[in-house]
Amino acid sequence: MKPHPDPLTDKPAETQRPIESQAEGFATVRNAHESEMAEDYVELIAELIALRGEARPVDIAERFGVKPPTVSKNLTRLQRDGLVCRERYRSVFLTKPGQKLADHCRARHRLVVKFLLALGIPAEVAERDAEGIEHHVSDETLEAFGRFVSDRAE
């Protein structure tokens, strides 16, 4: 009996990835999803502080398009994790670890945007797509993006 092809790749079954490799891939994606919220929040908080001198929860809610209680819940988690400091009814500020994470996320985001722009993607689309890609791309792939962008700049 002939093996069925993989519906996603059309490759014969014997050339498909081992189950362990596939499981690792799914675990990587799950881990990225878990850290996405923290990364997005600290990146936005850093941006708001740079623009306005403070990051108010109401501004965070507006930028994310969510309700203030959602922001409050997420800020509580970030505070518990040592990434932000805040007081009730006050602005939110980043701790040193929070600022470090924000800087790291911002650098990843900029590199992904540069890469997409180098491929000819329109700026608005590149910015939007980078929001998802930046959380899921490996350091190895980011390095390749960087080499691609710098090779084109020369």
pLDDT digits (tens, 9 = 90+) for 26-73: 655 555 556 889 999 999 999 999 999 999 999 999 999 999 999 999
Residue 141: what pLDDT? 93
Quick check: helix, strand or coil at residue 1? coil
> What's the N-to-C CA distance of the chain in angstroms?
54
The predicted structure's pLDDT at residue 132: 87
Beta bridge partners of 86: 92
Burial class (CB in 10 A: 0-12, 13-18, 19+), 113: buried
**pLDDT at 1 exceeding the cut of 60:** no
* pLDDT > 70? residue 7: no
Q: Is the pLDDT of residue 88 over 80?
A: no
Instruction: Calculate mean pLDDT across residues 139-151.
Output: 93
Between 37 and 4, the more confident residue is 37
Q: What is the arithmetic mean of pLDDT over 17-32?
A: 62
